[in-house]
Amino acid sequence: MRHAPVLVLVLPAVLAAAGCKKKTERPSTPPPLDAAPVEAASSAEATPEPDAPPSFTPGELVVGAPLGDLGIIASYPKNLTLRIEGNRAELSAPGFYPVRITVEPLTLENAVMKISVNGVPQLTPGTTYDGQVKVYQTNCLLVRCLVDHPSPYRAEVAEVGRAICESIAEVPPPTEGYLRQLRDNSYSFGGPCRDEDRGRQATFQAAVGLAKVKDAVAACWRDAAAARPDWRAAQPVVRVGWNLSDANPPRWKVMLDDLEGDTTALQTCLEQALEPARAALPADVRTAPGCIATFTAAYDLDHRPTCPGTANPEPAEATPSGGGPAVGAGRDSAP
């Protein structure tokens, strides 16, 4: 009977300790790749931080590795497991917040960032955020990268995942040569020129701007660039000059600038392509005595990506003022 008070005191303490024990469970495998991205929670509904950060130590870095056939590359630790299903990829490991990536062809309909050129919507490469998801618009692809953590922008433990998203880049697609724009606003007059002489500028613009002429110039460059790999990054300019005076017949000249190597065949093709423009101008026009008039047009040649499985729409042409292409929007913005 002398030990009874001791038992009475000890048992309630054991029960109380047992009542405080709480069991926690965590999933042993990552969710399926087609699971919906985690939405950013409001401050009132934020998911509580875990008691302890994951215990993941990054291994050797794989730099610029292709993610299957998705058309992108990324850098990530070698001790992560890469899974690819359809247009989705996932990088995961025990103790690591999964990185989930989706890739789809970029179109005007699904684009997150657009610009307008002469009132026509255009696609533009860039990066931005959609909630927790980093969005990339490349030349051909729309890429979304999610670090599957309740608050990746405030959690140091998600730094590796954020670095993976930052490393994503497009596998460069094939390109083709095309005519980016026609600039035809250059002219000069010397001496006592008449209004009639100055009015030849409109005649010249109409001739060099003929659709069949521009198509032929573009075709010359497209074929030449396809045959010469060393020209596939070049941006040459075709200049056309029409010179008038009172003493001599009109002079017509075609010049090819900013292109290295043997350009003989391309020069010949361009001269033939521009012949309809020359033929559309007066054959024997003279200026007022002492007046010299010179008109110049510039065809800017460039390259554009040929996105697999999609048709590349013709870009909106810049206005005849000669201004450069519109500057794209869509740089990083804070989420």
In this structure, the answer to whether residues 240 and 145 fall within a common structural domain is no
The letter for the amino acid at 100 is: R
In a domain, 36, yes or no: no
In this structure, the answer to whether residues 227 and 161 fall within a common structural domain is no
Which pLDDT does position 31 carry in this prediction? 52
Which pLDDT does position 118 carry in this prediction? 81
* CATH number of the domain residue 138 falls in: 3.40.1000
Which pLDDT does position 242 carry in this prediction? 96
Confidence of residue 316 (pLDDT cuts 50, 70, 90): very low
The mean pLDDT value for 314-324 works out to 42
pLDDT of 40-93, one tens digit each? 444 445 555 544 556 789 999 999 999 999 999 999 999 999 999 999 999 999
Number of domains in the chain: 2
In a domain, 95, yes or no: yes
In a domain, 89, yes or no: yes
CA 10 to chain centre: 71
pLDDT of 90-108, one tens digit each? 999 998 999 999 999 999 8
In a domain, 314, yes or no: no
Which of 6-20, 28-42, 146-160 is predicted with the least confidence, judged by mean pLDDT? 6-20
In this structure, the answer to whether residues 151 and 122 fall within a common structural domain is yes
Full domain range(s) for residue 110: 61-170
Question: What angle do helix axes 264-273 and 211-227 make, rounded to 10 degrees?
Answer: 160
C-alpha span between 5 and 93 (Å, rounded): 54
Which of 110-119, 202-211, 299-308 is predicted with the least confidence, judged by mean pLDDT? 110-119
pTM score of the predicted model: 0.64
In this structure, the answer to whether residues 187 and 144 fall within a common structural domain is no
Say if residue 256's pLDDT is above 50.
yes
In a domain, 274, yes or no: yes
In this structure, the answer to whether residues 181 and 272 fall within a common structural domain is yes
Among 143, 170, 197, identify where a domain stops.
Answer: 170
DSSP 250-268: -EEEEEEES--S--HHHHH
In this structure, the answer to whether residues 141 and 221 fall within a common structural domain is no
Which pLDDT does position 266 carry in this prediction? 97
